[in-house]
Structure 1
Amino acid sequence: MNIVLSIIFFISFVFLKQMSSKYIQTQATKKNVDDVRSKFISLSVNSLLFILLFSLLLNLIDIGFGDISLFLSSIFAVLGVALIAQWSMLSNITASVLIFFIFPYRIGDKIKIESDEMVGVITDIGMFHLSIKRDDGNVILYPNNLILQKAVIKLTVAGKKTKVHAPVKINRPPLTRSNSEK
């Protein structure tokens, strides 16, 4: 029975991994994201998926959480101390994942960050920061966790200029007088 559950677990993991990777790749293409970043997001999502499915498998084959709680709690204690020491890095990585899925701006968009009065074009979206090229040529590295906390205005869309709508001219045939009007 445990072998059957393990096979089902493996097949489910492979299927869900392919589906999530495909979704992440379409989002990366849609948002013009670098391959390195999309691979990181894919690795993070697939690792979380593995942990969730593996925990479910352990519960199904009666290796309960209580049996491995000492091992897991010691690992989480060490990770907790390490991550608290690097809280800023962790928040930037988490913000990077959020930016990948919900940030409405793409590379090439000209933006304005309200509180800092910064205007520039997004040239790169990395794991820890956005690269913003200002009009004076300087490149500013703006932390991911701060960009989610600030009001950001999109000034132009990547590769497109703002359209100015001109009045529409309608070509009509010239009016002719009927014989009775002449």
Structure 2
Amino acid sequence: MAFFQEYTRELIATGILGILLILFRIISTKLVRRYAKSNQTLEHRTNLVIKYLHLFINILVIIALIIIWGVQTKDIFIGLTSVTTVVGVAMFAQWSILSNITSGVILFFSFPFKIGDVIKIHDKDFPIEAEIEDIGAFHVYLKTIDGEKIIYPNNLLLQKGISILKDHFEHREFMD
């Protein structure tokens, strides 16, 4: 019983934070789903962005819990510095994964093209003209007129010039 008397403020703040966590997750999910519905975004892309937002919200709640329960600022900085160093080294080795995830989120919200569009990627060495079959977290899946399937990384898609062609392959005549 002494525990509850001694830590009443922290327990109340933790309860309030738990309620806020649930509310923020519900609100963010509804907002993303509303945005996706208005832009006719696929369900799996929507779920992926929701997972990213929930992860971010959970990290903020963990930081808030650390502050509420009175962990010393010095200890927080030591812990964060250690974790940041380890994560930084790991992410430096895996920068392309993080870059592709970030690009996938940007493609979700900026929505420059959609599944079914025929695009032309202006790459000096390897230009591509293909139809978008799917947009994933890491890659965009393309299909050329010859039936060749190309998996193109999201981060490269944002770095290259892209033209969205009006006509689909079925409507085009190719002359020799």
Q: TM-score range by the shorter chain?
A: 0.7 to 0.9
CA distance in 1, matches of 2:135, 2:13: 41
User: How far is 1:49 from its partner?
Assistant: 1.3
Give the letter aligned to residue 66 of structure 2: L
1:155 to 155, 162, 165: 165
User: How far is 1:57 from its partner?
Assistant: 4.2
Distance 1:157 1:72, change over 3 A: farther
Please give the per-residue CA displacement for 1:18-69, whole angstroms capped at 9, x wherever unaligned: 111122223444343252x433321211111122233234335543442322
1:114 is matched with: 122
CA distance in 1, matches of 2:150, 2:36: 23
2:89 is matched with: 81
1:33 matches 2:42: yes
1:11 is matched with: 19
CA distance in 2, matches of 1:17, 1:105: 28
CA RMSD for the aligned pairs?
Answer: 2.3
- Asked whether the 8 Å contact 2:14–2:68 carries over to 1, the reply is no
Give the letter aligned to residue 138 of structure 1: E
Equivalent runs, 1:1-182 vs 2, <5 Å: 1-29=9-37, 30-35=39-44, 37-115=45-123, 116-156=126-166
Give the letter aligned to residue 134 of structure 2: D
- Asked whether the 8 Å contact 2:121–2:163 carries over to 1, the reply is yes
- Asked whether the 8 Å contact 2:116–2:131 carries over to 1, the reply is yes
Please give the per-residue CA displacement for 1:93-124, whole angstroms capped at 9, x wherever unaligned: 11112111113211111111123432111001
CA distance in 2, matches of 1:133, 1:27: 28
Distance 1:157 1:93, change over 3 A: farther
User: Residue 153 of structure 1: SS of its match in structure 2?
Assistant: strand
- Asked whether the 8 Å contact 1:120–1:135 carries over to 2, the reply is yes
Structure whose CA Rg is larger: 1
5+ unaligned residues in a row in structure 1: which ranges? 162-182
- Indicate the percent of aligned positions where both proteins have the same amino acid: 35
Distance 1:50 1:69, change over 3 A: same
Distance 1:34 1:139, change over 3 A: farther
Distance 1:64 1:26, change over 3 A: farther
CA distance in 1, matches of 2:14, 2:56: 18
